[in-house]
Structure 1
């Protein structure tokens, strides 16, 4: 890849995708072309206790979409994409000044920024996936994206649709007109027709196990806190923009606390991107599978240079 960002951008931000971006075949092209990728997949498979490459490359989709498998898969494919591109275009990485990741992708961002070693980060991601899957198994819940509505409209719909004892709330504030909602499946079922009646262009169910980024994930928080304490994160060499507050952080203690809080807090993705731009980032790289993050960027600033690598 000959990056136009080299010509157009002096201050590059690196972005990492989250759950929902996974697809059977992810990472296979890089795996076939680069020995360092094959070595990383072998290391990951040894640590995880199963053949990660087989799940990424062959599926089936139902298995890859399971939280406990999709999160390690996304983490590893994004990290190897960053390592290949860094080896091929070191001059581009001299211009990287900040990083962020969507939900699970924030763990990738912390690892990329030097806050965690690969093995420690992968163990954390595996623990996170299992903890979130366990929390999701406790209640019938899920997520969907609402396209074409404002945050105010979505918040009003959630208040009107949910019944006593139900959770239904905005969870991923991705970009103008694209907001993901999490909650009980009973409430989500009533949300879809109400959203269409309100003028939503589309309601898209997401391939996730449960109501991520809501209080329904609270059982996962303590497990994550314990794992984060055991992982010994370091201060990062680059600012990592947190999903929780859309602000840059480099101190290990702050990042550890924010990563634990993240699973029950709405993802402030649009605000994070806008803050990165306000802080001087003038071009973005999306590393790993999918194009979702570049899509959110285009809804915020169509003229801003952005590219992907590792699909």
Structure 2
């Protein structure tokens, strides 16, 4: 069985999608439609912008979404048995399995990006990558800190990202190193994604999701919040809303997809981060990209 997986924030690079735009009429049409919907020429930034311009949340999230979804839409042999996306990538996955249409999903992604940016400005906060510690030990250390610090991304065994207040992350990094972490590295991000500090964004996104039309998917989506397959529209909506303040359970999602029969994982979007994670989580499965 074939699982298609879609990357999240951090996979962007200058020039992303340019070859698609120039070589495929459908892709060009979708990119131009996106420029109209967003109200600015995101293609100019994707194709020619600086790394700094691409890093702006209002640009990054729609850019990665567009590259992923248009790549899938113009791939000749796109037949997923199951899909999953890492954080933002879950929206790309929901277009791939026909739960959301392209235009509605792009609007949601744009609203999500702006809501997250606002939440970051209200609560200055950050994230850090912890390498070489057991998940349970990372969770135990987070729980011992008085500041807000939580496990945010379960990326693969021995690689977990924590999220929280600036002071909380500083304390966490010290404690993780003392506990034997190989690395405890603050990340260059604008805020504490997938933590309680994203609550204002979650509330804003919830309203937008409730007002968007969702369809019955053609195959299950393994959602970040609980790593379980979902085909029920109301369940998918709830999990998508909860995702902003809950951890991304990527390790568990891949493990569950393998348990349910996935033998091949195809990464669809910029970069090759997810392929690397899949190989560490499930070395018995084949991992590739479109």
For normalisation by structure 2, the TM-score amounts to 0.95
The equivalent of 2:234 in structure 1 is 253
Instruction: Report the secondary structure of 2:74's partner residue.
Output: helix
The equivalent of 1:277 in structure 2 is 258
After superposing the two structures, state which structure 1 stretch, 174-183 or 207-216, moved more: 207-216
Alignment of 1:33-182 (within 5 A): 33-85=23-75, 87=76, 90=77, 93-94=78-79, 96-160=80-144, 162-163=145-146, 166-182=147-163
Instruction: Report the secondary structure of 1:143's partner residue.
Output: strand
Query: 2:190 matched to 1:209?
Result: yes
Contact 1:196-1:202 within 8 A present in 2 as well = yes
Corresponding residue pairs, total: 290
Q: Deviations over 1:167-197 (max 9, x none)?
A: 1110011110110110011121233233233
The equivalent of 1:16 in structure 2 is 6
Instruction: Report the secondary structure of 1:231's partner residue.
Output: coil
Contact 2:262-2:285 within 8 A present in 1 as well = no
Task: Report the Cα distance in structure 1 between the residues aligned to 2:187 and 2:27, rounded to whole angstroms.
Answer: 29
Unaligned runs of 5+ in 2: none
Q: What RMSD over aligned residues (CA atoms) do the two structures have, in Å?
A: 1.4
Q: Deviations over 1:277-307 (max 9, x none)?
A: 1111111000001111111111112231110
The equivalent of 2:282 in structure 1 is 301
Task: Report the Cα distance in structure 1 between the residues aligned to 2:270 and 2:188, rounded to whole angstroms.
Answer: 15
Task: Report the Cα distance in structure 2 between the residues aligned to 1:131 and 1:121, rounded to whole angstroms.
Answer: 15
